[in-house]
Structure 1
């Protein structure tokens, strides 16, 4: 019973913690305990051979090594080390749809996105009574989020709140794939 209460308290604390705090705690645990390091390594990194081949985009090859952040060195905790090899992040954020995805289940149709820009629909009724002098500028990120139906995608002329018009594999936000 006490163990269930402790588990419930811990899960509540995890849910309430900020992402920065969670990263800090996980990093500290990985540096202190080999078992935690190994388990985390196996959950967050995968062999490149496990990843589905969905092709490379031109953007992936455009960044130079100088643009990548420097690798940080951490002291390894005691105990058996995980197997080394060409590794990459298992979970990444897609630069096309801004959603997190699992690289092990990234297919050629996993991502639904727009490849155009949101443009103001000046002829739409939503802006009929909008005076920019007193209501604020229309063509802003804040207005795109608050009134997506007042904008059109340049790629398909659909309203801003409509689902994507393109399908493809998710693409990582990093300019170049890094190996670990």
Structure 2
């Protein structure tokens, strides 16, 4: 919690040093998924990765991997046992796009604008009993914005929540 608060305050103060290098966004996302595989297996949740081929970007791969891990961890916490979390990477014009979608109950519509603010946890399954201090999505937003991208959440009718972020392609 303290490390997360420190990182978030550094991001908000624009005091973080990012190590930007040219990499394939798909490879960074696939690598990040390896770190959450055990959590998925423990709950019999399948994580499907859909790549659109190489997506060349100039990013800090460690930071972007953290964003992916935060989003997938969030999806795993709110997805029902035995369901699927879908992660996709695609090039969309000048943007590399990553999408994480779960099959949970979605996000309270009143919380969609607040979900990326610090300490926000929403209702029901998005409580302390399901882990998290409400900092992961705020950190994700700070990292993505520092890369010149955007991040947002939306509900998918009958299919849970979808989180998407973009970063500029090189």
TM-score, normalising length from structure 2? 0.26
* Larger Cα-atom Rg: 1
Give the strand-richer structure, 1 or 2.
Answer: 2
TM-score, normalised with respect to structure 1: 0.25
